[in-house]
Amino acid sequence: MVGGHGTCADFHDNAVLKSAIETVYAADKVVAAVCHGPMSLPQCNKPDGTPLVKDKVVTGFKNSEEHGVGLVDICPFLLESKLKEMGGKYEFADDWNAHVCVDGKLVTGQNPASSHAFAAAIVSLLSP
State the DSSP string of the chain. ---STTHHHHTTT-HHHHHHHHHHHHTT--EEEETTGGGGSTT-B-TTSSBTTTT-EE--S-HHHHHHHT-GGG-SS-HHHHHHHTT-EE---STTS--EEEETTEEEE-SGGGHHHHHHHHHHHH--
99 is catalytic: no
Query: Catalytic pick from 66, 75, 80, 101?
Result: 66
User: Quick check: 53 pLDDT over 90?
Assistant: yes
User: Quick check: 128 pLDDT over 80?
Assistant: no
44 is catalytic: no
Report pLDDT for 55. Answer: 98
pTM reported for the whole predicted model: 0.96
66 is catalytic: yes
Query: Catalytic pick from 8, 12, 35, 99?
Result: 35
Q: Among residues of the chain, what percentage have pLDDT more than 90? A: 98
